[in-house]
Amino acid sequence: MTVTEGVPATGPRGGTATGPGTGTATGPGTGTGTASGRRTGPPVRVAVIGTGAIGQDLVSKIHRSPVLECALVAGRNPESAGLRHAAALGYPTTAGGIDAVVSAPTPFAVVFDATNAMSHAEHWRLLQPLETLLIDLTPSRVGQMVVPTVTGTGAPTARNVSMISCGGQASSPIAHALAQHFDVEYIEVVSTVASSIAGRATRLNLDEYVATTQHAIATFSGVRDTKAILNISPAVPPATFRTAVHAVVPGADERAVRAVVAEAAERVRAFAPGYEVLGCAVDGDRVVVSLEVTAESDVLPAYAGNLDIINSAAVMVAEQHAARLVPAAGTGAYR
């Protein structure tokens, strides 16, 4: 269901939307059921801005949520694969971008921003007057940083929530756990993503990715000396998303380190089942934790764990917010 300027469109589930001039959208988000037909309370209407791979996976995860209802997917290119994917699921779409979201007759409870860091600041400026929770999947460093197993899974206290980066979501739980139990002097995070899944926004935001990830590691660990590196691998077949956490921990005990890392990883798997510790080595005061994330997604290839983990965390935040807005909706997992 592609929306063009001023021309209403109707999808297979009866949703309608108008173009960028008005941003009006009705459909699945205005009914009493969810896309999957499973819920314990009224669904909470959400919108997704961005139609790349991360936006498509977000829509699929929202589609499976018992408490979230995708009421609009907004992009810029009316022929994008992301808009076609959303329309195939029966959701209203528009090529009107942020303007269509802002001008909707009823503000959305949650808006997911899956665009780029440069655009996010403007999106926040436009959405700030509305009672909307903006969940930022760009490395803009504008909002309150959230990592579910570090900051908690309760409803956010800010209306602009930063999911940091894929590397930040993968490494922060380990960095935080190590710093809580040991005297850590240095942390370095090196993430590797497949070139085929690193879209245009990722490549435009490399500097922001590094700065935001490094800031998160320092914030959540309390370690001042930190570094973040992102590798984009052209390997064929594509490399599965991996993150290595290097730390300097004087007097580190290997058995104690392994126990701390295993516990932290188990907590992450509660919302990102593909999160695995490949190795945990201690050599003197040097600790290296090797992580791999496999995507469990309807639309992503298995190697795109970088997108899966950040989207899984984002949907968890939205579901917790929905539970606060509609207590009867509960906090069930979307899987």
Q: Which residues are catalytic?
A: 166
For 281, how many CA atoms within 13 A lie in the half-sphere containing its CB? 9
Task: Compute the distance between CA of residue 300 and CA of residue 273 in angstroms, rounded to an integer.
Answer: 15
C-alpha separations of 263 from 189, 230, 308 in Å:
19, 26, 21
As a three-state string, the secondary structure of the chain is CCCECCECEECCCCCEECCCCCCCEECHHHCCCCCCCCCCCCCEEEEEECCCHHHHHHHHHHHCCCCEEEEEEECCCCCCHHHHHHHHCCCCEECCHHHHHHCCCCCCCEEEECCCHHHHHHHHHHHCCCCCEEEECCCCCCCEECCHHHHCCCCCCCCEEECCCHHHHHHHHHHHHHHHHCCCCEEEEEEEEEHHHCCHHHHHCHHHHHHHHHHHHHHHHCCCCEEEEEEEECCCCCCCCEEEEEEECCCCCHHHHHHHHHHHHHHHCCCCCCEEEEEEEEECCEEEEEEEECCCCCCCCCCCHHHHHHHHHHHHHHHHHHHHHCHHHCCCCCC
Amino acid residing at 223: V
* Tokens matching residue 332: 């069930």
- In the structure encoding, which two tokens stand for residue 102, read together? 């802002």
| Measured CA distances, 290 to 236, 249, 276, 277 (Å) | 21, 16, 9, 6
